[in-house]
Every structure is written in structure tokens, then in C-alpha cells.
Structure 1
């Protein structure tokens, strides 16, 4: 059986371009002191060539469009006005 690895991230802390590659630093929120907001801690870096980045961006845009169409997400006022 194929074993797949899953990684959870609360978000992307940073995206940068270095050495001809796009680098995503994913973060998870780590608890701080009681009553204080959690602090994002880097837990994974994904590195891809620019073409891979563009392909991933296109795939994400298609998913966003489907989520908007399904009513899961709503466009903000600025984005809705730009489309008109």
C-alpha cells in the first residue's frame, strides 16, 4: 500500500523568490502564555520552480472560483467591483 504524508499548516508565513525558485514557508500557530495570541512557527518549506508556482496558482484560482460559485466563499467589495 502506498503511504502518503499529510502536513497541516495554519497558513503561509512567507513566500519569497531566491535562487531562481519560489519558496513557501508554512506555519502552525503555537500557544504562547495563557491569554496571549498564538505565535506562528515555521514548520515546513516547499520550493518550486516558477512554472510550478504558476501552475499551482492557476489550480488554486480555479478552486476559489468553484468555492465562490458554491457560496462557500464570498468576493469582497473591491473584487466584485473590479469584475463589473
Structure 2
């Protein structure tokens, strides 16, 4: 999990955050597809559904927080 920061952003920190978001977006997309595939196969492997959905939810929640932080940092740097 990525830690959010309240410190003053630097251009380097913004670039690093953008890279983190990009990597997390890729991972989130794959998790979304895995969840979709699992759901299509129901009732097979239904035991895995809650765990997979929870992991997918968490990564998208983290992405949302990081995107909000990025917007805030970009405003501060203007």
C-alpha cells in the first residue's frame, strides 16, 4: 500500500506519484479482468469471489486516493 503524504510536493515527487499511479492502474486493470473472469465462471470457484472482489476494491480505493493527492499536489505547484 502506498502512503499518502501531506508534505509540500516537489516536481520530482509529482513525477514519482504519476509513475506509481500508472503502475497501479495496470495492476488494477488486470485485477478487474481476473474478477470478471471469475464472475463469468460462476458457480465454479465461487469460494474465491469475496477475496478477489475485496482485493480489487482495495486497489481501486487506493488509486482514487492517489489520484486525489496528485490533483492536490498539481494545484499546489501552480
Q: Could you state the TM-score of these two structures normalised by the residue count of structure 2?
A: 0.33
Q: Could you state the TM-score of these two structures normalised by the residue count of structure 1?
A: 0.32
- Which of 1 and 2 has higher RCO (CA within 8 Å, sep 6+)? 2
Choose between structure 1 and 2: higher strand proportion. 1
